Chains A and B, each alone.
Chain A
Amino acid sequence: EPEVTQTPSHQVTQMGQEVILRCVPISNHLYFYWYRQILGQKVEFLVSFYNNEISEKSEIFDDQFSVERPDGSNFTLKIRSTKLEDSAMYFCASSGATGDGTDTQYFGPGTRLTVL
């Protein structure tokens, strides 16, 4: 069964460093998302991406964050200068062709980011 994959599973970085989290969505999906879950809290929407541009972003997704689909398979989240409060589990998700809520989003296993 197709699945969303994410690398690395755990990333440790120093405050102020740049990190790139990588995701490979399900191959025929067209809509891509990043979510964040601070330890013990709920999952929060960060950004959605379609047709090589951001469709929607939350207030969490400030200028320190960027997303990119550098090739036909990868979808990345970059945090330019990490802060302690960026420590969280980051989930990538993808969904199918319609993008209007009719397609289920499938989530990757997550990348746990620890900022020291």
Chain B
Amino acid sequence: AQKVTQAQTEISVVEKEDVTLDCVYETRDTTYYLFWYKQPPSGELVFLIRRNSFDEQNEISGRYSWNFQKSTSSFNFTITASQVVDSAVYFCALSEASGTSYDKVIFGPGTSLSVIP
């Protein structure tokens, strides 16, 4: 069964601190995709990144970086030098590429990040 766990419900950091959001997933498939979405207070879901299960290279995009480790089934997200605009709920998500599931996305419960000025 698919499952995504985000153990941190809420995190508060002071502006310019680095922060890591944890994500652990469960799947029986060997081919799957992992995502991070950001949900700002306005409510929309903003796509941040997608990784496939065969690509364990870490990725950096500006202040954002992602650490994918299959051995621990984790896909953690780090924000470097956090800013107030980073305040949002962040969802980790999983999609299995079984060919029959039409890639529904299973979301984790989310981590609410507050960046304090």
Contact = CB atoms under 8 A, between A and B. Distances in A.
Interface of A: 31, 33, 35, 41-45, 48, 50, 55-56, 89, 91, 93, 95, 99-110, 112
A104 B106 CA distance: 13
A101 B31 contact: yes
A112 B105 contact: no
A44 B105 CA distance: 8
B32 A107 contact: no
Interface stretch (B40-48, B55-63, B64-72, B75-83): B40-48
B44 A105 contact: no
Interface string B72-101: 000000000000000000010101111101
Interface of B: 31-33, 35, 37, 43-45, 47, 50, 52, 91, 93, 95-99, 101-110
A109 B44 contact: yes
Contacts of B91: 42-43
Interface centre among A99, A100, A103, A107 (most CB of B within 10 A): A100
